[in-house]
A and B are shown apart, each in its own frame.
Chain A
Amino acid sequence: MIGLAAAKKKVTELLSSVRKEGRLELTELDSKRILAVWGVPVNRTELARDLSEAIKAAREVRYPLVLKIASPDIIHKSEAKGVKVGLTSELELRQSFDELIDNARAYKPDAKIFGVTIQEYLPPAREVIVGALQDLYFGATVMFGLGGVWIEVLKDISFRLAPLNAEDAREMIQEIKGYPVLADIQRAPPADIDALVNIIQKVGQLAHEFPEITEIDLNPIFVFDNGKGAVTADARIVLGGRK
């Protein structure tokens, strides 16, 4: 990671270029760029505007890979049938490319489509969510929870104000009811909690340094076994105020 001052400058530039384009919701690609600059691990993600760029990017990122629609107007990519996971060959890529574009057009005919993103495929792991928001009373606040049903149905999440120290972040992870899923239980080795602590602190710091960011959503983050890290597979950042 580059120094804090340099990172701040870079993020400021990225945010203002998004604003200049008249957008408040950052694309996955923009969001991941900002996170990467800020030192949050993200899976390799390249934009391909057409098929030939896609094929070229795929050779660099390497198969198997993930293909996602890249459009500032499509936030819920799965809902738009805009995601393909685990493509293993160029043949599959050619077929999928057109399919994703067609699906996106069908889902939202007037959507602006940048192309697709070619992404590094991540092996199965435990999935968690880290988010941030600006609370009315206290400002920058981070959120943590396990993915899917844990959050949607059980509302099993924890909060802390940012910036927060490692101890706070660790407490926040241990506080959720689903913590045993990450801890050292039942045959499975424990998840890489230290890597998660780092991500939580970084996301908190980002929201704290940039109050204009009203929402950060890293969903999902793949947490590998202890010592093997955690990687953000999808991300969304939203800015406040006027375009």
Chain B
Amino acid sequence: MSGEVRAIFEPKSVVLVGASAKERVGAASPVFFGSLVHNTLRFFKGKTHVVDFSGRLDGAVKNLDQVPSGCDIAVMVLPPKLVMKNLRKLFARKVKAMVLVAGGFDQHQLEELTRAAAKQKVRVLGPNVLAGVINTTKGLCITLERGLMPPCGGIAMISQNCAVGTAMLDRACAYSVGVSKFASIGEGADITETDLLEFLTHDKETKVICIYLESVRDGRRFLESIREAVQKKPVVVLKGSTVREGVERNRIFVAALKQVGALQVSDIEELLSVADALAKQPCMRGNRVAVVTNVSGPAVLVADVLSREGLALAKLSDNIIKKIIQKYPNINIADWVDLGIDANGDRYKFVLEQVLSDSGVDGVVVVNELKSTFLKLEDVQEAAKAVKKSKNTPVIDIVMCGEDCVLVRNELRDKNVCVYDSPRKAAQALCALCSYGKILKKVGK
């Protein structure tokens, strides 16, 4: 099953089918077709063939017959009627899978399409997948939004809704959060969330799987797939549609996800925060968090939110405290480690090394504020170095000032550090690392 889904995510060749001149609104609009062609030519490392029924685009052919046989995916930016009309021609080209961008197929068309596709062993993603498919390492960017391509990384995303999926991608770009693969399912006539989940479970580039769900087909199989996946990597679910489904039904859904070890989040922001940490950091063995900061205010807020989320402040051992004070007598160690506003990279480096060597510490929050302190932007590299050295204890970074957070995030790009602009997001991330630790213990890993 997942072998067939592979063609969707890892195509060597792609056929884009649309009409550049035909005035249409909706998903089959020539504007979207243009964006899709642009994205593919700009990013895709494999072979691209463009079929333009209008015959206007440079390098495009006008007829499906002119496309070489055996391409991996055909992306159809056509209204249902034209898709149906060209189905036989398309199958004659022996494509392995197709993505149906437009929605609006009636029941009869859908049945005919899925039956014919099954007969030809062609897998179908869609219909109604405007957000498409992305594979960052292969440069595959089948989206209708021009240039929407997140950086490479370990997060895979599946969305049952295109707009929510697009928002997830948009945030990933905005926060420089690395994505491995993305797919929106649309109406799921053939390929379902479970098919994608099973493929991503075994995908080496994917460290964490995120899913936006509104409903589910074949609920028990889906849950069993999650149960299997969480033994290898965390699965984070954002469940929508509580109001439409009713409170009790949703509570059962939530309980079922919990039972099989999925982590659950309540919005896209939390999804990104949590997934970023899970992709880059080790699990927390316990719930004790040490906070190392150069200003006290943010640490107060961090401490508050940690306790609200059920985490505790770590108590450093006397031995470690002694070592720190010996070298830096002015450092204040109480509920957290206050380095003082004059702290520089060296001080961060030394203290983080000590804190990370304390067996009473399960996780570390580093606060490095740039405003009204003597910390320089390049000093935050010390946090990154500590993260790199720390194999078993997660370290995450908070910069509460928004502008500075963007600067620090840029400075630490490609350094495998999670940088958050709020204590709440940091606490959510640590909670997820803690929960996944417990889940792994439960499944005996």
Mark A residues whose CB is within 8 Å of B.
Answer: 135-139, 141, 155, 157-161, 164, 167-168, 172
Contacts and interface: CB of A to CB of B under 8 A. Distances in A.
B1 interface: no
A161 B215 CA distance: 17
A34 B387 CA distance: 59
Q: Which 4 A-B pairs have the closest CB atoms?
A: A137-B219, A159-B255, A138-B219, A159-B252
B255 A160 contact: yes
Given A137-B253, A161-B256, 9 more contacts: A135-B219, A137-B215, A137-B219, A137-B256, A138-B223, A139-B219, A159-B251, A159-B256, A161-B223
27 contacts: A135-B219, A135-B249, A135-B252, A136-B249, A137-B215, A137-B216, A137-B249, A137-B253, A137-B256, A138-B220, A138-B223, A138-B252, A138-B253, A138-B256, A139-B219, A141-B252, A141-B255, A141-B256, A159-B251, A159-B252, A159-B255, A160-B256, A161-B256, A161-B259, A167-B442, A168-B259, A172-B255
Contacts, number: 42
A90 to B, nearest CB: 46
Nearest to B218: A137
Interface in B248-266: 249, 251-253, 255-256, 259
B258 to A, nearest CB: 8
Contacts of B223: 138, 161
The secondary structure that dominates the B interface is: helix
Contacts of A157: 251
Interface string B216-233: 100110010000000000
A114 to B, nearest CB: 33
Contacts of A158: 255
B440 to A, nearest CB: 15
Nearest to A172: B255
B253 A161 contact: no
A169 B253 CA distance: 16
A14 B220 CA distance: 29
Contacts of A159: 251-252, 255-256
Contact of A160 (B249, B253, B259, B442): B259
A167 B256 CA distance: 14
A168 B443 CA distance: 12
A85 B259 CA distance: 40
A229 B255 CA distance: 27
A158 B247 CA distance: 12
Nearest to A158: B255
Given A135-B252, A137-B253, A138-B252, A164 B216 contact: no
A139 B252 contact: no
